[in-house]
Amino acid sequence: MQHVRFGRTGLRVSRLCLGTMTFGHQCDEETSFAIMDTAAEAGIDFFDTADMYPLGGPPESFGRTEEIVGKWLKGRRDDYLVATKCFFPTGRRAWESGSSRHNIMRSIDLSLKRLGTDHVDLYQVHSWDTGTRIDETLLALEDVVKSGKARYVGCSNFLAYQLARSLGRAEALRVTGFECVQPRYNMLFRENEREMFPLCAEDGIAVIPYNPLAGGFLTGKHRPEAPIDGGRFTLGAGTAERYRDRYWHDRMFATVDALRPIAAEAGVSLATLAVQWVLANPVVTAPIVGASRPEQLADVIAATRASIDPDVKARVDELTHEYRFGDAAR
């Protein structure tokens, strides 16, 4: 597995990052361990999780994913880079969410306890907090880094102006700034190419995009009549509704059907093509790939063994150009 530089830092990470939000709900502990074993055998040594995972589970399951990851890491923590996140509600109390100093300090300690480690390599705020000044967030994250509880900090789901604002304030405050951003990015959602990616390229910010397979939609296995049970499009807690709103549209099904012959001519699966296409963007550091079964990782790992042919990429770019403009394709 190739390793690449993590933005402007000196850290090097595997070309793929393992996403874990299926662990503890879609996957039991045994299956989760098997997925991590498969990833590790392929050379993936960068794992991403969050304090509110597993996705789609009941509130009482929050934190279960970190516990599973921590249990697997026991005795081999030094061999892996671990990232986690805070922001979304993890309890009933009003202060158990957001990017306030209180929640950041509370959340990092709880995450470390569940993960069974004294530090994470990357600590991220999961979304922009409209109710907290970015200065408060940055100063709290600076203390997290200075205390040794995190090596680097990053953000997820930010808009370009929010990241630009954060980078500017970090420079003014002379504190540790965000070294990475975790945006949604795939063939069916290319809006971040317009503003976010040029900003990251200019400032040397690492990009670790999630949803490279559009929640499984780009495997080509779903049909309009009914989603496959057990995936993102049938999960509870509002997850199915969110994913259907993102991808369950006639135009997107038509796009997937148009991508099938391109993948076939290239001699790869649709899933492999989708990940190869994401990896071909020079701004992308390490796409976050997840699975609910170990064998699902085969296609995404295959994407790292050969680059997408330039002519194939050009055909995909042209076919999916409309998705650079958010909801325009719906």
As to burial, measured by CB atoms within 10 angstroms (0-12 exposed, 13-18 middle, 19+ buried), residue 310 is: exposed
* Helix, strand, or coil (residue 74): coil
* Helix, strand, or coil (residue 182): strand
Which of these, 58, 51, 67, 54, lies nearest to 25 by C-alpha position? Answer: 54
Beta partners for residue 3, in sequence order: 14
Separation of alpha carbons 197 and 192, rounded Å: 6
Separation of alpha carbons 125 and 27, rounded Å: 25
* The pairing of beta strand 12-14 with beta strand 3-5: antiparallel
Where are the extended beta strands (E) located within 79-158? 81-86, 120-125, 150-156
- Options 53, 80, 123, 323, the catalytic residue: 53
The conformation of residue 223, written as its DSSP 8-state character, comes to B
Separation of alpha carbons 316 and 13, rounded Å: 27
Dihedral of CA atoms 192, 288, 69, 3 in degrees, nearest 10, equals -120
Active site includes 53?
yes
Which positions ≥6 away from 322 have C-beta within 8 Å? 328, 329
* The pairing of beta strand 206-207 with beta strand 180-182: parallel
* Helix, strand, or coil (residue 129): coil
Which of these, 192, 214, 211, 212, lies nearest to 283 by C-alpha position? Answer: 192
* Helix, strand, or coil (residue 328): helix
Let me know: does 13 contact 57? Beta carbons within 8 Å. Answer: no
- Catalytic residue annotation: 53
